[in-house]
Chains A and B, each alone.
Chain A
Amino acid sequence: QVQLQQSGPGLVTPSQTLSLTCAISGDTVSGNSVAWNWIRQSPSRGLEWLGRTYYRSKWYNDYAVSVKSRIMINPDTSKNQFSLQLNSVTPEDTAVYYCVREVGYSRGWVFDYWGQGTLVSVSS
């Protein structure tokens, strides 16, 4: 059974960096047919995919254009976890953030395991 445990602050000051970590149990961050994603949800933007990291003989990242200049998603193989850093946050970045496993199979990809969600408020 895969479990994803999120950690990180729930309040970030505008212009600062939002940092969240997702600890993985029951799978490995460097697995071959999985990708590790961050998705956020807010009333104004709905469910918004932010980006992912995955390993296929080397590490790859994909990011949403809307945050590409401000985002980093990094794996940590020693701790079997991955992290999100979002720089220069504004109140529009206030949302519930989820870490999510995406698994590939013959007919596509699915987001099958989700973290518990972290409400991050951007406010001074």
Chain B
Amino acid sequence: DIQMTQSPSSLSASVGDRVSITCRASQSINSYLNWFQQKPGKAPKLLIYAASSLQSGVPSRFSGSESGTDFTLTISSLQPEDFATYYCQQNYNTPRTFGQGTKVEIK
């Protein structure tokens, strides 16, 4: 199975901050990487697919990038509604696997 390792596991930030979350795959997955946002009691919501493509309806402050097996989700200016947990997920093969999550909290 492909292991997805996210860092950090949690972070504290203020409204307006630039925030980056990293996800490392245990092997090459090309660009088959998606990012999700999850709020308490809700299902995950797709933000980014194919490593850097913004899902329809998602604000442009969210962006994704890749370098080899390292992937980054960046929020350019953190908004109050962005405090949530973020997950990466590979769709290179089955079993589909997720990172362990990064919780973004209010400083």
Let me know if A115 and B43 touch, CB within 8 A: yes
Let me know if B46 and A49 touch, CB within 8 A: no
Complex contacts, B71 vs chain A, CB 8 Å: none
CB within 8 Å: A-B pair count: 55
Residue with the highest number of chain B CB atoms closer than 10 Å, among A37, A49, A108, A109: A108
Let me know if A98 and B43 touch, CB within 8 A: yes
* CB proximity to B under 8 Å, residues A47-75: 47-49, 52, 62, 64-65
Q: A64: nearest residue on chain B (CB-CB)?
A: B95
Complex contacts, A37 vs chain B, CB 8 Å: 96
Let me know if B95 and A108 touch, CB within 8 A: no
Interface size on B, residues (CB 8 A): 23
Complex contacts, A46 vs chain B, CB 8 Å: 98, 100-101
Let me know if B44 and A47 touch, CB within 8 A: yes
Over the window 12-47 of chain A, the binary record of Cβ atoms lying under 8 Å from chain B Cβ atoms (1 yes, 0 no) is 000000000000000000000000010000000011
User: DSSP majority for the B interface?
Assistant: loop
Complex contacts, A116 vs chain B, CB 8 Å: 43
How many angstroms from the CA of A108 to the CA of B50 in the assembled complex?
Answer: 7
Distance (whole angstroms) from the CB of A86 to the closest CB of chain B: 16
Residue with the highest number of chain A CB atoms closer than 10 Å, among B46, B53, B94: B94
Q: B96: nearest residue on chain A (CB-CB)?
A: A49
How many angstroms from the CA of A69 to the CA of B45 in the assembled complex?
Answer: 30
How many angstroms from the CA of A52 to the CA of B94 in the assembled complex?
Answer: 10
> B-contacting residues of A (Cβ < 8 Å)?
37, 46-49, 52, 62, 64-65, 98, 102, 107-112, 114-117
